[in-house]
Structure 1
Amino acid sequence: MPPATRELSMRMRPAWPVPRGRSVRVLPRGLRRSAAALVTVLLLAPVSGCQTPIVAPGAPTRWPADRANRWQWQWQLAGPLDVTVDADVFLLDPVGTTSTETAALRDRNRRLVCQVRVGTYASTDPDASRFPAEVRGAAVPGRPGSQWLDVRRWGALEPILADRFRLCRGKGFGAVAVDDADGYRHRTGFSLDFDDQLLFNRRLAALARRLDLSPGLVDDVPQVAALAPDFDFAVNQECVRRRECAKLLPFADAHKPVFHVEYTGDPAAFCVTTVGYGFASMLKARTLDAWRTPCPRP
């Protein structure tokens, strides 16, 4: 065979073996290129039925100042999670909420906040065995199996709380609301004072930021004026009934959201006050299931 013919034959040889007795039809060069391009497109195209990978948000939740008094929110800790609620912000339990649920909410452009108890221990917590006996104090009234923590023991508590924050982050939350952050006001079994709590809460806010989470403060109203610069938002329960809504104004005056809930009363009455303050308010049952009656936007 002449060299030119042998070279042409090598170029036209198929890349896979051909059974004996079968002929190979070689496409012209232009059609071969088109077929190769089509195969590439088919390989790169998404396959129907494949699940979208669930990834954590790329940055802490942002709270634009121009929307500070226009948020609608939902707080649900009980019952099947209703992802269709017409709210901008969802405050949820990071253990009970699944990554699939957070992904569904993020697909709707909802902001997700996880609630983490930072000043108490519960025997039913998945990480309960990590809390040393010496940091656990008096029982929390009305919550069997729960105890207050010695928040002065930052070295012992930080790794545990950091992992709780990481759980939030891994499930797709962009913000964390620290709860039970007012042990100094209760009989904890420890001699905690105002400054002990203040230092602990500021450490929590800094820890959240290091882990790319926006920090929020749940209640602890007496320390709001001191802690408003450290936290991005506040969550409050019953400031109308307790007659302490004005104490939350350091957040509102700084154009930071105040997410407020009442468990009794008529929204037509208390919304006038709280929406006037610039809060995002609603009426809910104490069980914190999906039901809610939100105050209208201003």
Structure 2
Amino acid sequence: MAGYVVALLVLALLAVIPTTVAPAQATASADPPPVTVPPTGTDVDYQLGGAADVPDHVGIVVRDRTEPPATDRYNVCYVNGFQTQPDQRRFWKRHWRLVLKDDGRPVEDEAWGEWLLDVRTKAKRTTLARIVGRWTRGCADDGFDAVEYDNLDSFTRSHGLLKRRQSLAFARLLVDAAHAAGLAAGQKNLAGYDGTRIGFDFAVAEECGRYRECAAYVEDYGDLVLAIEYRRTDFRWTCSHVGDRLAVVLRDRDLTPSGVHAWC
């Protein structure tokens, strides 16, 4: 009888062992997938205005989140994380409290016709990150490799309503969302700020040649900078100063599929 009791105790102990290791296994499976940064030594095309044919020498393509990624390229998904898209005003009117307002009127980036998002409170940042996070996961599901969040320097156009620290706190949430989805995260603009401190993996610099900011991005990101110019004179300057190490493209400001495309 004693031996029978011992055997029962051993079986009981064996039965509970799997339940003690299951949580550790679940934690391991919940780890975010690894991210892959953009390749160097290749060209970039900036196709936010619509998908276009990709030349053989172009290894990196940036497209809007509503477009499919390019075949056999490193694809960056454009997501307007800090401002609204002009054609999405109906959506944001349903989330009106999340749009930054001055005396009841939305604050607008007049150069692009985009409203700024209100990231002044933790509650609003959390809600906005949940919305943008869904778009980010959509980019990953569609097969993109990375995401760029437009536009880290939006607070500079907020009439003083947004603070730098508030925008950076929101950016950290967006970077976390990208990494959780397995995407590399690109810092869009705000030269001189080292976004690697909050997890950005590379930078997308609009007109760094025009404003003589390319060196600031290189200091923080090395060769992992995608440079876009909209004026030919600035493009020539950028090519002559950093074209030997950065991916540089000249585009028309409307980024039309059949518009200007030139590389160093």
Deviation digits for residues 171-229 of structure 1 (CA, Å, limit 9, x no counterpart): 211110010222221125x7321211121112211111011111011112242x25466
RMSD over aligned Cα atoms: 2.6
Q: Which residues in structure 2 correspond to 1:8-157 (within 5 Å)?
A: 62-63=36-37, 68=40, 70-84=41-55, 86-95=57-66, 97-98=67-68, 102=69, 105-106=70-71, 109-122=72-85, 124-125=87-88, 128-129=91-92, 132-137=95-100, 138-144=107-113, 146-152=114-120, 153-157=124-128
Letter of the 2:170 partner, please give it. Answer: F
* Unpaired stretches in structure 1, ≥5 consecutive residues: 1-57
Cα pair distance change 1:202/1:78, threshold 3 Å: same
1:213 is matched with which residue?
A: 183
Amino acid at match of 1:62: T
Deviation at 1:286, TM superposition (A): 1.1
Structure 1 counterpart of 2:172, from 202, 215, 221? 202
1:133/1:275 CA distance change after superposition, 3 Å: same
Aligned mates of 2:231, 2:92 — CA distance in 1: 37
Distance in 1 (CA, whole Å) between partners of 2:137 and 2:221 is 28
Matched, 1:251 2:216: no
Measured at CA, do residues 143 and 238 of structure 1 come closer, stay the same or move farther in structure 2, by a change above 3 Å?
closer
2:227 to 247, 260, 266: 260
Deviation at 1:289, TM superposition (A): 2.7
CA distance in 2, matches of 1:93, 1:111: 14
Quote the residue 1:161 is aligned against. Answer: 132
Equivalent pairs counted in the alignment come to 221
Cross-structure match for 1:241 = 210
Residue in 2 that maps onto 1:173: 144
Q: How much has 1:130 moved relative to structure 2? A: 7.9
TM-score normalized by the length of structure 2 = 0.74
Aligned to 1:7: none
Measured against aligned partners, the alpha-carbon deviations of 1:43-102 in whole angstroms (never above 9, x if no partner) come to xxxxxxxxxxxxxxx9665237xx53x12111012245224453100000111x13xxx3
Q: Does 1:193 align with 2:163?
A: yes
For 2:150, the aligned partner's letter is: D
Q: Name 1:26's counterpart in structure 2.
A: none
In the TM superposition, 1:264-283 aligns within 5 A as 264-266=231-233, 267-276=235-244, 278-283=245-250
Higher Rg of the two aligned structures: 1
Point out 4+ residue stretches in structure 1 off by more than 4 angstroms: 58-61, 266-269
**C-alpha distance in 1 between matches for 2:151 and 2:59:** 25
Find the aligned partners of 2:93 and 2:226 in 1 and give their Cα distance. 32
Contact 2:192 2:217 in 1 (8 A): no
Give unpaired runs (5+ residues) of structure 2.
Answer: 1-31, 101-106
- Given the two structures, how large is their TM-score scaled by the length of structure 1? 0.66
Change beyond 3 A, Cα 1:60–1:214: farther
Quickly say closer, same or farther: Cα 1:216–1:269, change in 2 above 3 A: closer
> Is the 2:33–2:181 Cα contact (8 Å) retained in structure 1?
no
Any idea what SS the aligned residue of 2:87 has?
Answer: coil
